[in-house]
Amino acid sequence: MKITEVETEALTEALNDPTTQGLVAQFLGLLKLFDKNEEEKHLEDMVDISLELVDRLPYDEVNVDGEWTKSPTMVCMITGYLMIDFGILPRFT
């Protein structure tokens, strides 16, 4: 289901789930590490986390750069951006 088709209550519940928040925080932390040192292990771990996360979300499709995708890593990244925008997670710098 596209993220835009999810009921607000279901989205709020998913984003406020502590396990989901932990998985997304781990994903974003690994993304930051990968940006610094480009170690392949970080990408592999990000894929593992994103595969675990997508089963917890009420959506499996997000819009990235004007195109819809079901890529678990993109779903995880967009979920992270939402959590940051909504003040659920801190902005990573």
pLDDT tens digits, 25-38: 999 999 998 888 88
Q: Considering the domain boundaries, does residue 37 fall inside one? A: yes
Encoding tokens for residue 59? 């959506």
Q: Considering the domain boundaries, does residue 93 fall inside one? A: no
Alpha-carbon dihedral of residues 23, 65, 40, 48, nearest 10 degrees? 30
Average pLDDT, the chain: 93
pLDDT digits 0-9 by tens, 13-29: 999 999 999 999 999 99
Return the pLDDT at 38: 84
Q: Does the structure show a pLDDT above 90 at 84?
A: yes
HSE of 72, CA atoms in CB hemisphere, 13 A: 17
Encoding tokens for residue 34? 């990968």
Angle (CA) 11-4-65 rounded to 5° is 115
pLDDT digits 0-9 by tens, 57-74: 999 999 999 999 999 999
Range of the structural domain that residue 15 is part of? 3-85
What is the total count of domains within the chain?
A: 1
